[in-house]
């Protein structure tokens, strides 16, 4: 809020209150009507203020990231049984689908099932896609797909 906007609303307040008192309105009512007019002018001025909205996702710099993705999401595991919760399984599946798609593999295509098994291991994706995924399966899948989209060194 700038000083100019505050000054404009104060001037409107004084002029409106004085004008209404000259027209015969009681001073208290004239002052309250002036305040209302000043607030109205202030709100009109604020309507055209440009605001910067930055509510998008933020990615931490690589130097601040510690541990694997599974370690950062460890709160979602049942430590006694090793079963991942629904939220953690969904997040891991989303990561895996994105990584596999970047490598040209569609998880919904039955023709790509053999490629998925070759990357992750036999039956790992089917166990992850089930309701209750095990921690070991999630770790293995995330580890094996982590470097899928990185450019390979040419010899």
Virtual CA dihedral for 73, 79, 84, 88, nearest 10 degrees? Answer: -20
Give the mean pLDDT of 66-84: 69
Number of domains in the chain: 2
Residues 19 and 10: their CA atoms lie apart, in Å, by: 14
Q: Are residues 104 and 141 in the same domain?
A: yes
Q: Are residues 74 and 137 in the same domain?
A: yes
Tell me phi and psi for residue 82, to 5 degrees. Answer: 80, 10
* Residue 17, domain member (yes or no): yes
* Residue 83, domain member (yes or no): yes
Q: 112 in helix, strand or coil?
A: helix
Q: Which residues pair with 134 in a beta bridge?
A: 83
In whole numbers, what is the pLDDT of the chain averaged over residues?
Answer: 79
pLDDT given for residue 80 in this prediction: 80
* Residue 61, domain member (yes or no): no
Per the structure, the complete domain to which residue 33 belongs is given by: 3-47
CB atoms within 10 A of CB 102: 11
Tell me phi and psi for residue 100, to 5 degrees. Answer: -65, -40
Asked whether the predicted pLDDT for residue 123 surpasses 90, the reply is no
Query: pLDDT tens digits for 5-62?
Result: 888 888 988 999 999 999 998 999 999 999 999 898 888 877 766 666 565 556 665 5
């Amino acid at each position: 809020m700038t000083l100019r906007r505050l000054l404009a609303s104060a001037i409107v307040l004084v002029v409106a209150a004085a004008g209404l008192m000259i027209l015969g309105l009681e001073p208290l009512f004239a002052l309250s009507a002036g305040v209302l007019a000043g607030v109205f002018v202030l709100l009109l001025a604020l309507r055209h203020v440009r605001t910067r909205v930055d509510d998008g996702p933020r990615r931490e710099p690589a130097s601040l990231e510690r541990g694997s993705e599974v370690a950062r999401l460890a709160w979602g595991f049942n430590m006694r049984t090793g079963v991942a919760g629904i939220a953690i399984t969904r997040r891991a599946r989303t990561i895996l689908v994105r990584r596999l798609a970047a490598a040209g593999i569609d998880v919904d295509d039955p023709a790509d099932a053999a490629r998925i098994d070759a990357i992750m291991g036999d039956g790992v994706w089917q166990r992850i896609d089930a309701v209750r995924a095990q921690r070991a399966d999630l770790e293995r899948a995330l580890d094996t797909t982590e470097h899928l989209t990185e450019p390979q060194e040419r010899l």
